[in-house]
Chain A
Amino acid sequence: MKSAVIVFPGSNCDRDMASAIESVSGRAPEMVWHRDSDLPAGVDFIAIPGGFSYGDYLRSGAMAARSPIIAVVREAAERGTPVLGVCNGFQILTETGLLPGALMRNKSMHFTCRDAALRVENARSVFTHGYDEGETIHVPVAHHDGNYQTDADVLDRIEGEGQVAFRYLDDINGSARGIAGILNAKGNVLGMMPHPERAIEKAHGNMDGRRLFEGLFEKVF
């Protein structure tokens, strides 16, 4: 089994993500620089970490979404490789079009850094089957642009198809219908604003994020 973490200039949760992957899977991921035009051979899981790629210039995730490595990530996603984007990684996935919608400035205009209570809406995907449907979990958020928006038709469609993976129990950032994380139609791409890689060990305060990686690695490896 092999994982890859994509690193952009301005990524700052790449090492947290690597540490979480290693802690759960027992094997450190390959760190892949954004200018690379290939993934290491045999990668079974790709993580796009949080941070502020390219300083959030133009729009959060906009520049990173056009980098050479993302074209390869897109091909892997289309072949069915699981791809997880957290925070800035979620923003990048929407900018690439692998996930619908867009992440806009928080309704409050403030950077929000706190624990968020989430309801697991879909516990059938490779990422979420370690949870129970309807279960409440706690995962930290830390973002300025986490306000998920898209038009009503797309919202109805993704709700109807079970693509909403996680929903905030409180209004954290103004997201349409409280959406905190969404899957693509095939269910192998997950984008979420909360940081599961920051809820891995006892010292983090809770270990609810660990179960996402445990469930995923059980399915993938």
Chain B
Amino acid sequence: MKARVTITLKNGVLDPQGKAIHHALEGLGFSGVEDVRAGKVIELDLAEGASEDDVDAMCRKLLANTVIENYAIEMVD
């Protein structure tokens, strides 16, 4: 079992990296983008018996900083 954790910045939190990507896209002539937000994906290869609750605890304790970030967990077979 694998878990895929997607970490994104909360709404309203300034995202300099997303802004830089947006500018770069515009520089390449892609005008159809309103906004860019960058996040990260962490894939966990889970040991037997590890549950989604365990992954949730990992997110709260280390993987995400809930002051500025949201996370979503997807369990993948």
Contacts and interface: CB of A to CB of B under 8 A. Distances in A.
Chain A contact residues (Cβ within 8 angstroms of B): what range?
20 to 34
Interface of A: 58-59, 62-63, 66, 94-95, 100-102, 104-109, 147, 149-151, 174
A108 B16 contact: yes
A94 B65 CA distance: 10
B62 A149 contact: no
Interface of B: 12-14, 16-17, 20, 61-63, 65, 67-68
A95 B62 CA distance: 9
A62 B65 contact: yes
B13 A149 contact: yes
B62 A58 contact: yes
A109 B19 CA distance: 9
A101 B14 contact: no
B67 A109 contact: no
Given A59-B65, A174-B16, 16 more contacts: A62-B65, A94-B67, A102-B65, A102-B67, A102-B68, A104-B13, A104-B14, A105-B17, A107-B16, A108-B16, A109-B17, A109-B20, A147-B14, A147-B16, A149-B13, A151-B12
